[in-house]
């Protein structure tokens, strides 16, 4: 402990605490200058967004689908009912036969012709 040098106690400058409130108020009353680079950055951002919109970089390009795919999308989204689809057909009975044939082809038959179930 004796090897550690003794430090002199800290002393405040004269009239420090008396002048401190005035110095703080003087600094807070000054308006802060707005830096020119912030205005430049804001202008660049706005210009970029304007050019992006005007240049057509953000365009909704249509998705090309076939009429069959479009009809399926309308049916699956439940915007078209069964009656709507059938009313679009020239021959609704043929369309129903085709749908039934496709649906039953996907599932296994319940019984074969040779089996008698009654």
Secondary structure (DSSP) of 70-110: HHHHHHHTTSS-HHHHHHHSS-HHHHHHHHHHHHHHHSPPS
Distance CA 1, CA 4 (A): 6
- The reported pLDDT for the residue numbered 10 is 78
Write out pLDDT tens, residues 38-91. Answer: 888 899 999 988 887 777 666 677 788 888 788 788 888 888 887 787 787 788
Q: What is the pTM of this model?
A: 0.29
**Percentage of the chain lying above the pLDDT 90 cut:** 3
- The reported pLDDT for the residue numbered 46 is 93
- The reported pLDDT for the residue numbered 45 is 93
> Residue 77: phi, psi to the nearest 5?
-85, 0
- The reported pLDDT for the residue numbered 77 is 87
pLDDT band with cut points at 50, 70 and 90 for residue 118: low
């Amino acid at each position: 402990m004796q090897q550690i040098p003794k430090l002199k106690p800290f002393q405040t400058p004269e009239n420090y605490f008396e002048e401190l409130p005035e110095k703080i108020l003087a600094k807070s009353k000054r308006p802060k200058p707005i830096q020119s680079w912030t205005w430049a950055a804001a202008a660049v951002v706005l210009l970029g967004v304007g050019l992006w919109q005007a240049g057509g970089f953000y365009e909704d390009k249509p998705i090309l689908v076939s009429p069959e795919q479009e009809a399926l999308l309308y049916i699956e989204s439940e915007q078209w009912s069964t009656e709507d689809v059938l009313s679009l057909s020239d021959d609704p009975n043929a369309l129903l036969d085709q749908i039934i044939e496709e649906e039953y082809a996907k599932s296994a038959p319940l019984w074969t012709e040779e089996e008698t179930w009654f």
